[in-house]
Structures are given as C-alpha cells and as structure tokens.
C-alpha cells in the first residue's frame, strides 16, 4: 500500500506528510518533511523523517501521547 494519510504545513516552504508505504517487502509508517524544489512549485521528499514498521505504530502513538500530556500539563500547548 502506498497512501498519504495526512499533510500539514511545517513552514512556508515545507510540509509534513504522514503515509503508509511498502519498501522492500516491509509495510511502514512514514513521517517525512517534503520541500519545494527551487524554481518550481513541486514538492519532493527530504531525508528528514522516520519510517517505522507498522507493528511499532502503537509504541509511537504511546510516546506521542506522553509528549502531548507533558506539554499540556506544562501549559506549553
């Protein structure tokens, strides 16, 4: 499966894309920065990001929930 599930802006020239990808027979969750190519309006992926096996998604979700709670408790968000 190759599916982008979410896209949101990082800044004026970059965006974050979350997707489900297959690479070399492995199903992955991919969180990656995409950027505008110079002189064009085309977005391309950068090396900045992370791809993890889909079976590790619950661990990533748990870590993000902990970070969310800490930031909310600290009134940072």
The per-residue pLDDT for 3 is: 98
pLDDT-derived band at 75 (thresholds 50, 70, 90) equals very high
pLDDT-derived band at 1 (thresholds 50, 70, 90) equals confident
* Best CA proximity match to 30, nearest among 45, 44, 22, 18: 18
pTM, entire model: 0.87
CA angle (21, 64, 46) in 5-degree steps: 40
- The mean pLDDT value of the chain amounts to 96
* pLDDT beyond 90 at 70: yes
DSSP string for 5-69: EEEEESSSSEEEEEEEEEETTEEEEEEEEEEEPTTSS-EEEEEEEEEEEGGGHHHHHHHHHHHHH
pLDDT-derived band at 13 (thresholds 50, 70, 90) equals very high
Domains and CATH numbers, the chain: 3-73 (2.30.31.10)
């Amino acid at each position: 499966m190759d599916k982008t599930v979410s896209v949101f802006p990082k800044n004026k020239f970059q965006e974050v894309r979350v997707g489900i990808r297959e690479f070399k027979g492995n199903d992955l969750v991919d969180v990656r920065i995409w950027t505008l190519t110079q002189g064009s309006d085309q977005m391309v992926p950068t090396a900045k990001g992370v791809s993890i096996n889909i079976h590790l998604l619950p661990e990533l979700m748990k870590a993000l929930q902990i970070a969310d709670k800490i930031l909310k408790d600290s009134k940072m968000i």
